[in-house]
Amino acid sequence: MLLTWGAPNFEGGCPVRSFSIFRDDGAGGSFIEVDPTLINNISALRQYLVTFDGADTSKIFRFYITAANIIGSA
């Protein structure tokens, strides 16, 4: 599944430095960060290909994405 997103509408006057992607366990559980060593610190990143193993294909996952600048993340 390909996740895509746009830049934030307002970044508080400081450019975005990186994004982070989080997903739950497919059972409504807690969120974990997805592949931070690959995703973090890439300010131009606007898409990420999520792969699932065979056991995950019947689950429904929730995702959220945060953007970070020098001030913090939201």
Residues 1-25 pLDDT 10s: 899 998 888 777 888 888 999 999 8
pLDDT tens per residue, range 57-72: 788 899 999 988 888 7
Mean pLDDT for the chain overall: 87
Dist. CA 51–CA 41, nearest whole Å:
21
Is 26 part of a structural domain of the chain? yes
Is 27 part of a structural domain of the chain? yes
Is 11 part of a structural domain of the chain? no
**Tokens read off for 29:** 């559980």
* pLDDT score recorded for residue 24: 92
* pLDDT score recorded for residue 74: 66
Helix (H) or strand (E) holding 37: helix 36-39
Q: How many domains does the chain have?
A: 1
Dist. CA 53–CA 9, nearest whole Å:
34
Domain that holds residue 31: 2-6+19-68
Nearest to residue 34, comparing CAs of 62, 60, 54? Answer: 62
